[in-house]
Amino acid sequence: MDGDSLRVLLSHNLKKFRAFRGFSQQVLAEKAEISVTHLGSIERCERWPHPDILVKLTNALGVEVRDLFSPENPVAADIKGIVDKLTVDMSALINSSLELLGKVSDEKADP
């Protein structure tokens, strides 16, 4: 991978994470405490961000710096984590509901 490819990967992942979080460039720039112009130039591959800026961006997005350089789809990985957590939460909720229904029907059977 060369420098241009790395810059394109950073730009792509930055845009994906920003979109996934529902942030406009303005919102992300404010959260990262950088200018919208600077963010836009990074997303257009016109500027290479200083490491301190990368840290600010990842903190604002709730990701790790390495995620911005991962060739895997970062949004897909994030969604998989959310789905896995929801599956566990839904299972627990269903089990609790079934237990509660069992107690209610036991109470109706034994007045």
CATH of the domain at 31: 1.10.260.40
- Domain extent at residue 80: 72-111
* CA angle (59, 64, 66) in 5-degree steps: 140
Taking the CA atoms of residue 13, residue 14, residue 15 and residue 21 in that order, the dihedral angle to the nearest 10 degrees is 100
- Residue 76 scores a pLDDT above 70: no
53 and 89 in a single domain? The answer is: no
* Residues 75 and 16 sit within 8 Å (Cβ to Cβ): yes
The CA-to-CA distance between both ends of the chain, in Å, stands at 73
Task: Specify whether the CB–CB gap between 8 and 48 falls below 8 A.
Answer: no
The token duo for 18 is 């920003």
Does the pTM surpass 0.95? The reply is no
pLDDT by residue (tens digit) across 3-17?
Answer: 888 999 999 999 999
Q: In terms of domains, do 60 and 105 share one? A: no
Instruction: Convert the pLDDT of each residue in 46-61 to its tens digit.
Output: 999 999 999 999 999 9
Looking at the structure of the chain, the number of domains it has is: 2
Distance CA 50, CA 38 (A): 11
When pLDDT is cut at 50, 70 and 90, the band that residue 109 belongs to is: low
Domain identity same for 49 and 87: no
Angle between helices 51-61 and 25-32 (to 10 degrees): 110
Do 50 and 66 share a domain, yes or no?
A: yes
